[in-house]
Structure 1
Amino acid sequence: MKFSQMPYERVDFNKVEEEFTQLMKEFKEARNGEEQFAVHRKYYELRDRVDTLMTIAHIRHDVNTADEFYSAEQDYYDEESPRYSNMVINYEKLLYESPYRNVLEDKIGLVAFKNMELSQKSMQEKLIPLVQEENALTTAYEKIPASAEFDWDGEKVNISRLKAYLKNPDRNVRRKAWEKFSAFFKAHEGELDDIYDKLVKNRTKQAKELGYENYVELGYYRMNRNCYTREQVEAFRDQVKKDFVPFVEKLHDRRRQRLGLDKLSFIDEGVYFKEGNPNPVGTPEEILEAGQRMYGQLSPETKEFFDFMMENELFDVLGRNNKRVGGYMTYLPVYRSPFIFANFNGTSADVDVITHECGHAFQGYLSGMDEIREHGDITMETAECHSMSMEFFTEKWMDWFFGDKADAYREMHFEDAMMFIPYGCMVDEFQHIVYANPDLTPAQRKEAWSRLEKEYKPHLDYEGDEFFGKGGYWQQQHHIYSFPFYYIDYVIAQTVAFEYKLWMDEDFEAAWKSYLKLCRLSAADFFNNMIKEVGLKLPFEEGCLKEMAGKLEKKLTKEA
């Protein structure tokens, strides 16, 4: 069904609670594991229906945050979703404590039960008012950048369109765009500080209500970190500082030379060629058409997936005023339909949507065929492996998007992926500092960010910028507000994607076969096990980043 034709009505959570009560009664009365699993299938139907309606409302709110109807619906779900989450946890507790658990484990897998354990550790009914407040605060944050409007040569542009000018080949244009970008966040600094301060204190209070020292432990539970620890993440970041940052700094110097500059400025971040970064040659419609041809050639599975997406109009990718910034893939379970949301702005990021977000959507399309819904409950590092690896698997078709600039795009994309790793670790370490020290003032948080920038991005020079130069850059990173502790998942996944990149350059078919297996495994096993099962090295292994940096540097030297 086309997205525009999907019917919507507000979920009545009083009725949903009645349905959960009835399900739980039937579950308790079941006489064996098979009867309990039959009840569990009814649970799937209930969750599919509720989650689909909530997702439709969420998407329609995001495509126009000024829409009064769907804005009200978003506020409603911000208020009611914690109550719904609590219903789910109460039901799952019956599964977790079932006398027939061995039968249920055979049906839905050990990972599902570990995730239930984490859910029970991360939510209780007494937290509902705090989670409602948290939801309202994150929605308030998201509306600030979504409402941004800039005067640019007599035209009004939003943040997504302004970001295209941040990478303009003319340094004067870049400087003007960065000044406007910085000035917007400076103008909202007090509001941004206030929202984040309230979020930190709110999340800390939730953690203490559950008996934890601070939000770090609770945040890990909520991210479903079910097979690796905080200590492993810290050791991974240490590897990045020691073995990857020096390598990436060489790349920045190589970029500086290519740009013909004596010194890099913050206005040069994300700019790779003196004549400008390669931009796609087609219209948004032509980019989608090229994507359809590309996935038609990649594999029978990807052809079926992308044809389905196009036929059912499951993309909203045009940048518009009042549209939420950023991009994502989400899923509509009743219709077995992934959905991709983005903001095309005429830069290479438009093509990244067709590779990165479609990596998510392709895996979602495959997992939607699995009758065991828990297999679709992938952890975020696994999800990002699908998307970031797809960026590399599709590189051979970039000529269709960039014409004679395709090689330049491939070079830029490869370098950009390597340069991302230190930044992603910096975001993660910043959040660990903030939540381990919840009483830091806004100024102290900015000081912490500035200190981390010197460790992870020592080349960076803000030239005294009034906002970004004083540690404010993190406030434009919406994950820090809305999705605490998510960002390291991108970094872990990027190292996996590099493994696939190196593998596919030697044997594309074997690498693709492994990737397809990883997508189909979904959450049928733990991340650590799946990575090894598909023939890859676990990023947490000691020396992984040093070995990876060596291989990547060798590849760059060979291609130079």
Structure 2
Amino acid sequence: MPKDYYAHCIDVSDAKAVEAELEALLNQKIESVEELQTWLQAETTLSNRLSEVLMGHQVDFARDTEDEERKRIHLHDQAEIMPLLTRYEAKFNEKFYNCPFTKELDDSKYGLMKKVRFASLELFREENIPLEVKASELVTEYQALMAGLTVSWDGEQQTIPFVMAQVDSPVRSVREQAWTSLGEAYASVKPRVDEIMDELVKLRHQIAVNAGFENYRDYTWISKSREYSIEDIRKYHAAVEKYVVPVWDEIAEDFRASLGVESFRPWDNSNCTISKPPYDAIAELTDGVEKMLRATDPVFGDLFAQMNSTGLIDLGSRKGKGMGGFYVPFPVSNHGFVFANFSPSFFSLIALVHEMGQAVNLGFQLDKGDKWQHWRMEVAELFSHSMELLCLDKLNVLYTNEADYKEAIRQRIRRSIGMLMGPLAGDKFQHWMYENPNHTAAERDAMFAEIQKTYFAHPVDYTGYESRLGSSWVGTEHFFQSPFYQIEYAMAELGALQMLKNYREDPKAAIAGYKRGASADDSSLPISAIYESAGVKFDFSDELIQSTAEFVRRLWKSI
């Protein structure tokens, strides 16, 4: 596992040296609008150098959470460097805000920057820095705890991703065993995970109160510079319950009947209608995905081939490796890294295509050179989810059996309904958690179960496993590391389904729209304009949600 996939362009082990660079930049004189623009460029360059190394350390740790040196470096970054950067970010924002030439900057180019930086300045409180450090330490503990979990399977200790893949088994007894084994593994760490979440909620609530907010949800809305209101999201929750859940109930009933089971149990709610995984070895997966991406557009295939051949993709499962998957950009090296913890499964195939959608989007942004960037997940996830659907008709590259190919398409359509509900349920859960920061662990489980029954678990029979439903939030890293980063998935799926509709009508035009949107200026345009450039709407009105649900219903019935 080499560390040469990112540039070691600044030594962050010496916090005083880093501070000296930051202080020198802070003290630069600005006596014209041209000098302000030069200063902003220098700030971005330094920020990119720091981001390159800090992201690299994050990936190093995720690749082996049991390596004590990697963990020490990661914790040093969180405890020493990140607080330093937070302080200087506030100082830089204040310098920018007070500069007499800021008002002369063209709002069509710098308007979003002003909005984001002024909001960040408004939120900054010195007393929140140690609270944020403590929260980061708790997240690191959670990540290491989950990465260390194993399950006894056929006499051997297996990783969680391996057992997750067994939940897709066509043999019902095997998937039931896998599902219950995962529950037992999570239950073994649940007491400590509850304590971690209790502490995180209290810390984040105090951060919000210190900044003058009633709760952390309201604080987050400003920190993320969201372009929609809390009331918009409440209406979104209700519309999905009204229009999407009935379609999910229909699909679930079809699925139960096709399985020939009397009751639709939680271990049946998987990709179990496919006879076998799409690959046995990681090399088969990467070869297949490259072909799928190249058949969609040569640019996509070329990017994947370049990343795969230069060590920028790590997919296999191993003990101590972090859970989940992600793409991170390296702005100095002008490339990114795909990390995932995979065992052979339908999900791992879809997830790799998903991460490559983000690689295409952020790769286009990195190609614009040293410029201020504002990564918005509503944008990045649009291109991730859309890539999954644009590759839908190429699943036969890895599913060569016609029956499995058909089932793989059906499972991806079923995933669309899940992505319209699941992330939204997670978002609603977080609204409740941070609006009620003094809740107990038991109340948290009860609320999660209630919300799940409203959405994804609505047609599923959890008899005898009610407590498991309530505690199943434990395995969702987003709740710990990235609070309120879930609704973006549901928004992106709405856009991606529009893109699929465009693709079915005119593939070339849809691909052109995808590339046009992915390369749109994310540093200055509103989210709605980027979606529009891609040929879709950034919209979660009742009308669009209803029509999208009907589109998915028709897709399901047509296969």
8 Å contact from structure 1 (residues 167, 277) kept in 2: no
Structure-1 separation of matches of 2:314 and 2:279: 20
Aligned to 2:17: 15
Deviations 1:147-176 (A, max 9, x none): 001111122111111101122111211222
1:390 aligns with 2:379: no
For residues 522 and 479 of structure 1, the distance between their equivalents in structure 2, rounded to whole angstroms, comes to: 27
Aligned-partner SS, 2:56? helix
**Corresponding position: 1:402 with 2:399:** yes
CA distance in 2, matches of 1:416, 1:159: 21
Q: 8 Å contact 1:421–1:491 — kept in the other structure?
A: yes
Q: Contact (CA 8 Å) 1:186, 1:467: kept in 2 or not?
A: no
- Alignment match, 1:114: 115
Contact 1:164 1:347 (C-alpha < 8 Å) held by counterparts: yes
Query: Is the Cα–Cα contact under 8 Å of residues 247 and 549 in structure 1 kept in the other structure?
Result: yes
- Structure 2 stretches lacking a partner, 5+ long: none
Inter-partner Cα distance in structure 2 for 1:96 and 1:297 = 48
- Relative to structure 1, the CA distance from residue 532 to residue 366 in structure 2 (aligned partners, 3 Å threshold; closer, same or farther) is closer
Q: Does the 8 Å contact 2:65/2:147 carry over to 1?
A: yes
- Amino acid of the structure 2 residue aligned with 1:84: L
Q: What is the aligned partner in structure 1 of residue 439 from structure 2?
A: 440
Q: Is residue 34–residue 103 contact of structure 1 (8 Å, CA) maintained in 2?
A: no
Q: Who is 1:529 aligned against? A: 529
One-letter code aligned to 1:281: Y
In structure 2, the residue matched to 1:24 is 26
Equivalent position to 1:323, from 313, 321, 324: 321
Q: State the partner residue of 2:220.
A: 219
Aligned mates of 1:511, 1:16 — CA distance in 2: 45
Provide the TM-score with structure 1 as the length reference.
Answer: 0.94
- Secondary structure, counterpart of 2:31 in structure 1: coil
1:420–1:106 distance in 2 versus 1, CA, 3 Å? closer
CA distance in 2, matches of 1:335, 1:126: 35
- In 2: Cα distance, 1:11 partner to 1:508 partner: 50
CA contact (8 A) 1:224 1:379 kept: no
Give the match for residue 358 of structure 1: 356
| Aligned structure 1 segments of 4 or more residues deviating by more than 6 angstroms | none
The Cα of 1:282 is off from its aligned counterpart by 5.1
Write the letter of the residue equivalent to 1:438: P
Q: Which residue identity is paired with 1:547?
A: S
Report the Cα offset of residue 3 of structure 1: 5.4
Residue of structure 2 equivalent to 1:332 = 330
- Quote the residue 1:94 is aligned against: 95
CA distance in 2, matches of 1:73, 1:186: 30
| Partner SS for 2:465 | coil
SS for the counterpart of 2:332 is: helix
Counterpart of 1:508? 507
User: Which residue of structure 1 aligns with residue 174 of structure 2?
Assistant: 173
Partner SS state of residue 513, structure 2: helix
Equivalent residues in 2 for 1:473-484, closer than 5 Å: 473-484=472-483
Give the match for residue 193 of structure 1.
Answer: 194
Cα displacement (A) at 1:108: 4.4
Partner of 1:517: 516
Q: Higher mean Cα deviation, 290-299 or 324-333?
A: 290-299
Give the drift of 1:475. 1.2
* Aligned twin of 1:489: 488
**Which segment is superposed worse, 490-499 or 301-310?**
301-310
CA distance in structure 2 between the partners assigned to 1:399 and 1:441 by the alignment: 48
C-alpha distance in structure 2 between counterparts of 1:224 and 1:343, whole Å: 31
Distance 1:5 1:542, change over 3 A: closer
For 1:500, the aligned partner's letter is M
1:307 paired residue number: 305
2:266 corresponding residue in structure 1: 266
Secondary structure at 2:71's aligned position in 1?
A: helix
Matched letter for residue 223 of structure 1: K
Taking structure 2 as the reference length, the TM-score comes to 0.94
Q: 8 Å contact 2:325–2:341 — kept in the other structure?
A: yes
CA 1:465–1:76: 2 relative to 1, 3 Å:
same
CA contact (8 A) 1:359 1:387 kept: yes
Alignment size in residue pairs: 551
Conserved? CA contact 1:453–1:460, under 8 Å: no
Distance 1:353 1:460 in 2: 24
Q: Deviations over 1:463-512 (max 9, x none)?
A: 3227414x111111111121111011100101111111111111111111
CA distance in 2: counterparts of 1:89 and 1:395, whole angstroms: 45
Residues 286, 368 of structure 1: alpha-carbon distance in 2 compared, 3 angstrom cutoff: same
Q: Structure 1, residues 36-75: CA drift from partner, whole Å, max 9, x if none?
A: 1112222122112111111111111111100011010111
- Hey, what's the Cα distance between the residues in 1 that align with 2:538 and 2:40? 34
The range that moved more, 492-501 or 282-291, is: 282-291
1:419 equivalent in structure 2: 418
